[in-house]
Chains A and B, each alone.
Chain A
Amino acid sequence: MTNTSNTAEILTIVMSNETFAVPASMVLEILDPGPTTPVPTATAFINKLINFRGRVVPLADLRLRCGLPIGEPSGDARVVVLEIRFEGEPTLVAILADKVYEVGTLEGVIADKVPRIGTRWHPEFIKAIGRHKDKFVMILDIDRIFASSDSVT
């Protein structure tokens, strides 16, 4: 991805009380949580399937991937369907969010590199920290999160 995220449109979501952002251009749809199907033997963070308009789409829990604590499920929980690039191909994946705010414009990038110290989550999945409505948001490196896991684990 190019580094045009300074002024990019983002969707802000909440996971484990932290605010994260994903590029709005990736977001296809925001759904209420529905029935899921577990995929036995699959990697823990992506071991469910949902039916997204007749298509079988993996549902990922990024809290597991990023090492965030899992709290009680809330009524605000949503499923965000994204179109990512996986091995160069457009691929659908859904992620769980405790809460979804809105689409907005990122006001600026504070840090290109995330400090390794002082964070509870895995910094390698955060592309940058930006400012949005006077709050810090962690911009997720979505493609990296879903890239073949060998480089990260």
Chain B
Amino acid sequence: MMPTGQADIGKMQAVFLEEMGELLQDAEKALLCLADSLDDYALVGQLFRNFHTIKGGAGMVGMEPLAHYTHVVENMLDNVRRKTLPLTPDLVTLLLEALDCLKNFVSSAQGIEPLDVARLEKSHNSIVATTERKITKVNLSTPTLAPSPASVQRDQSTYIIQVHARPDFFPPLSELATVIEALGQLGNVLVISHEHSLPPLDQLQSGEFYLWRSVHLVTSANTDHILAAMVHWPTEHRVEILPLDMLPEMPENQAQIDAAVDGLPRVASATTLEKRSLDGGFAPSQPIVAASVSPPASPGNSGIVTADPDHQKSPQTVTPAPMQQLQQIPKNPGSDTADIQSVLKLGSIRVDTSKLDKLVNLVGELITVSARLDSFQSFMETRNPELAEDLLEILDDSSRIVDELQDQALTIRMVPVGSAFDPTKRLVHDYCKNTGKKAHLTIVGYDTEVDKKVAEQLSGPLQHLIRNALDHGIEPSAEREMAGKKAEGQIRLMASHQYGLIVIEVRDDGRGIDVQRVICSAREKGIIDDNRELTEREGMELIFAPAVSTATEVTEISGRGVGMDVVKRDIEALRGTIEIGSALGKGTTITLRIPTTLSIVDGLLVCVGDNRYIIPLSMVEECVELASDLGMDNGSSFLDMRGDLVPFLRLRDLFKVPGEMPLFEKIVIVSSGIRRIGMVVDRLLGNHQTVIKSLSPLHRGVQCFMGATIMGDGNVVLILDVLHLIDLGQKMEEKRRAKKRRGNL
């Protein structure tokens, strides 16, 4: 069914590895939830499905060792699922270790790191050992009777299970075989293939899957067990389970089965599921048990399904009674299935991000062309006012569409910020396990949208912040109880949107930061002058200075005095800001504010000489007029900002702009925490929102600019790299001070 050339295997492997990465992420999420609630068997089911899918895929792409290892894990999970193996924290740890091993499999297959065979063997052996410790050994492979404890007392029932694969997806036969095998463990199985759903020749869609199967199953298990045995099929494909008390015995031949199955509705299309099931000859009181969303059906109570020979012949006829029934049942289980399927059909596609970038670039071109059209229109007004008027109307329409296009193009890159939060869950779990501290992580605003690149680059700094909270913030349980706090430390990670920015708050209820100690530490290390008085806020900002730490001892996790400065730099690289607030004994809150997209910058357009520049607005504190006497005074290198001395940088000098300087220059005060400088410009032109273009690699050496943008008039304008300019300003300032000191001596 799936002819695969050798050349395709590599490609399939790459696709599989990517999917496997996602499955592992899902599994890790589920596993960490499970660690919190050890009785959530729905999660076990999900985990089982994740591992099962990995196993199937690994087999398909020929990664046998991976398939084997996953099989061992799956086997253990199967025992957990059947409650023959207790769900313990140790087991969760074992599974987390298994996840790490599988991640190692992925990265070794991608050539990123070598396969850690020793670790794999260890994990493999302990999983096998744990699996063997199961409480009772129920031999499930015996094909005759394998009653699960819950259904022992029930008589055998007969089910007809209709298995329709999604028409747009060819399921690997191995997967189908696995499902059939699992059903075989519940009882006697007969599989029949059908082609009734084959439409007339003129309606055939190439690439669609029409063959379906029904499974005749005599079992004492109930529908829940059957659904469980079918793993993810009920959610991914259409599966209908009909109790058939009509046929208590195994049918003897194909003809009997056909007779029974012909009574079943025929497949028209995926979306007409509920209509179909009522159209058919059946009028079941518990019509269809489909997918896992349905209420558990007990075969004993469900009505006997009778076939009406007339309706068998004319499946198109809609009998009035079932229609009423349909209206009476507002939440028909079938409709849920249809919903799930329509979602599955809509689905999503993988797109190379470079294609998205290209799209954004093209939109940028379109904006430029529109601007040219606009200026042509103004030119036309002088020649032919009437035509110019008409053109204006068209241009209005087009610019509206272009604006919307730009918004949409940027939206495509958005992902939930939660993907950056996920690793922190594991971090908290592992930390608590290793240190014995107790902490609980709450996540709010998981779905807040942010550019994919931002989400990716946030992950590292967030892990650092959470590590800090665990290590320095949260106290040991005993200490917390003494202070009248809950024994379990609380960490909250919260994301929300505010004014086009994503705001992420990391809050803990730990011991807080001792500002005085930070200041002392900074004094000892010579980061600040001994005699300079600092406000509380300034003291707090010192946390971000390199080599300041309040940790009295160095742990493996953090506390080496490196870190917060790196976090700050990472956040600023995203054009974001970081703010810290802390109350001694009560906790610390760190707030990050980051533009949701790297593609657009809100900027202040300024003029220096004949040229325009953009300063990212997120770093602008205020704009003031430079008093001319101050500007002329050579000796003064500071600006007096309400008692604060701020060094300033004259962009005219830096950029070597020739010509007369204007009478009234403006100063834009930009800051990055405690570091502030003033940038002297000629004029302020106003706020401007623009698409950022990166500079050519040929301009890599140019450090004053972080990128460029194309204005409405088609001209290129450079965006200032404020962080670099602050560094530059501070360095010039230090030089000046050193010179002055030498002069004094």
A positions within 8 Å CB-CB of B: 34-43, 46, 49-51, 53-58, 86-87, 89, 91-93, 146
Q: Are B698 and A58 in contact (CB under 8 A)?
A: yes
Is B718 on the interface with A (CB-CB < 8 A)? Answer: yes
Residue of B nearest to A53 (CB): B365
Is B715 on the interface with A (CB-CB < 8 A)? Answer: yes
Q: Are B368 and A54 in contact (CB under 8 A)?
A: yes
B positions within 8 Å CB-CB of A: 361-362, 364-368, 611, 654-657, 693, 695-699, 701-705, 708, 710, 714-718
Distance in Å from the Cβ of A38 to the closest Cβ of chain B? 6
Taking CB atoms, residues of chain B closer than 8 Å to A93 are 696, 698
Q: Are A56 and B702 in contact (CB under 8 A)?
A: no
CA distance A81 to B382 in the complex (A): 34
Q: Are A54 and B708 in contact (CB under 8 A)?
A: no
The contact of B365 among A35, A39, A41, A54, by CB within 8 Å, is: A54
Q: Are B708 and A49 in contact (CB under 8 A)?
A: yes
Taking CB atoms, residues of chain A closer than 8 Å to B715 are 35, 37, 51
Residue of A nearest to B655 (CB): A40
Distance in Å from the Cβ of A122 to the closest Cβ of chain B? 18
Distance in Å from the Cβ of B69 to the closest Cβ of chain A? 38
The contact of B704 among A40, A49, A54, A146, by CB within 8 Å, is: A40
Q: Are B655 and A51 in contact (CB under 8 A)?
A: no
Taking CB atoms, residues of chain B closer than 8 Å to A53 are 365, 368
Taking CB atoms, residues of chain A closer than 8 Å to B698 are 46, 58, 86, 91, 93, 146
CA distance A55 to B710 in the complex (A): 8
Distance in Å from the Cβ of A45 to the closest Cβ of chain B? 11
Q: Are B365 and A56 in contact (CB under 8 A)?
A: no
Q: Which of A38, A86, A87 has the most CB of B within 10 A?
A: A38
CA distance A93 to B696 in the complex (A): 8
Q: Are A38 and B611 in contact (CB under 8 A)?
A: yes
29 chain-A/chain-B pairs, Cβ below 8 angstroms: A35-B714, A35-B715, A37-B715, A37-B718, A38-B611, A40-B657, A41-B654, A41-B702, A42-B699, A43-B701, A49-B708, A50-B716, A51-B715, A53-B368, A54-B367, A55-B361, A55-B693, A56-B696, A56-B708, A57-B696, A58-B698, A58-B699, A86-B697, A86-B698, A87-B697, A89-B697, A91-B697, A92-B696, A93-B698
Taking CB atoms, residues of chain B closer than 8 Å to A36 are 716
Distance in Å from the Cβ of B312 to the closest Cβ of chain A? 64
Q: Are B701 and A37 in contact (CB under 8 A)?
A: no
CA distance A40 to B708 in the complex (A): 13
Q: Are A37 and B655 in contact (CB under 8 A)?
A: no
CA distance A4 to B704 in the complex (A): 41
Overall SS of chain B's interface: mixed
The contact of B710 among A34, A38, A56, A89, by CB within 8 Å, is: A56
Distance in Å from the Cβ of B264 to the closest Cβ of chain A? 58
Taking CB atoms, residues of chain B closer than 8 Å to A86 are 697-698
Residue of A nearest to B713 (CB): A35
Distance in Å from the Cβ of B724 to the closest Cβ of chain A? 11
The contact of A40 among B656, B696, B716, by CB within 8 Å, is: B656
Q: Report how many A-B pairs have Cβ atoms within 8 Å.
A: 74
Taking CB atoms, residues of chain B closer than 8 Å to A55 are 361, 365, 693
Taking CB atoms, residues of chain A closer than 8 Å to B708 are 37, 49, 56
Residue of B nearest to A55 (CB): B361
Distance in Å from the Cβ of A20 to the closest Cβ of chain B? 20
Taking CB atoms, residues of chain A closer than 8 Å to B699 are 39, 42, 46, 58
Taking CB atoms, residues of chain B closer than 8 Å to A56 are 693, 695-696, 708, 710, 716
CA distance A40 to B705 in the complex (A): 9
Q: Are A40 and B654 in contact (CB under 8 A)?
A: yes
Query: 12 more A-B contacts (CB under 8 A) besides A35-B715, A39-B699, A40-B655?
Result: A37-B611, A39-B702, A39-B718, A42-B701, A53-B365, A55-B365, A58-B696, A58-B699, A86-B697, A86-B698, A91-B696, A93-B698
Distance in Å from the Cβ of B712 to the closest Cβ of chain A? 11
CA distance A72 to B556 in the complex (A): 67
CA distance A86 to B701 in the complex (A): 14
Taking CB atoms, residues of chain B closer than 8 Å to A49 are 708, 716, 718
CA distance A89 to B611 in the complex (A): 31
CA distance A54 to B654 in the complex (A): 28
Q: Are B702 and A37 in contact (CB under 8 A)?
A: no
CA distance A51 to B718 in the complex (A): 12
Distance in Å from the Cβ of B691 to the closest Cβ of chain A? 9
Taking CB atoms, residues of chain A closer than 8 Å to B710 are 51, 54, 56
Taking CB atoms, residues of chain B closer than 8 Å to A91 are 696-698
Distance in Å from the Cβ of A11 to the closest Cβ of chain B? 20
Q: Which of A34, A55, A91 has the most CB of B within 10 A?
A: A55
Q: Which of B368, B699, B705, B714 has the most CB of A within 10 A?
A: B699
Residue of B nearest to A149 (CB): B701
Nearest first, the 3 closest Cβ-Cβ pairs linking A and B are: A54-B365, A40-B655, A54-B364
Q: Are A39 and B368 in contact (CB under 8 A)?
A: no
Distance in Å from the Cβ of B355 to the closest Cβ of chain A? 16
Q: Which of A37, A43, A86 has the most CB of B within 10 A?
A: A37
Residue of B nearest to A93 (CB): B698
CA distance A41 to B695 in the complex (A): 14
Taking CB atoms, residues of chain A closer than 8 Å to B695 are 56
Distance in Å from the Cβ of B658 to the closest Cβ of chain A? 11
Residue of A nearest to B708 (CB): A56
Distance in Å from the Cβ of A35 to the closest Cβ of chain B? 5
Taking CB atoms, residues of chain B closer than 8 Å to A51 are 368, 710, 714-716
Q: Which of A42, A55, A56, A86 has the most CB of B within 10 A?
A: A56
Q: Are A42 and B702 in contact (CB under 8 A)?
A: yes
Distance in Å from the Cβ of B661 to the closest Cβ of chain A? 16
Q: A37-B715, A49-B716 are in contact. Are A54 and B705 (CB under 8 A)?
A: no
Q: Are B611 and A54 in contact (CB under 8 A)?
A: no
CA distance A57 to B717 in the complex (A): 12
CA distance A38 to B52 in the complex (A): 59
Distance in Å from the Cβ of A126 to the closest Cβ of chain B? 20
CA distance A36 to B361 in the complex (A): 19
CA distance A40 to B698 in the complex (A): 14
Q: Which of B368, B701, B703, B717 has the most CB of A within 10 A?
A: B701
CA distance A114 to B697 in the complex (A): 29
Distance in Å from the Cβ of B695 to the closest Cβ of chain A? 7
Residue of B nearest to A42 (CB): B702
CA distance A64 to B406 in the complex (A): 39
CA distance A43 to B701 in the complex (A): 9
Q: Are B704 and A41 in contact (CB under 8 A)?
A: yes
Taking CB atoms, residues of chain A closer than 8 Å to B717 are 37
Q: Which of A46, A54, A55, A58 has the most CB of B within 10 A?
A: A54
CA distance A58 to B705 in the complex (A): 14
Residue of B nearest to A89 (CB): B697
Taking CB atoms, residues of chain B closer than 8 Å to A40 are 654-657, 704
Taking CB atoms, residues of chain B closer than 8 Å to A38 are 611
CA distance A34 to B372 in the complex (A): 13
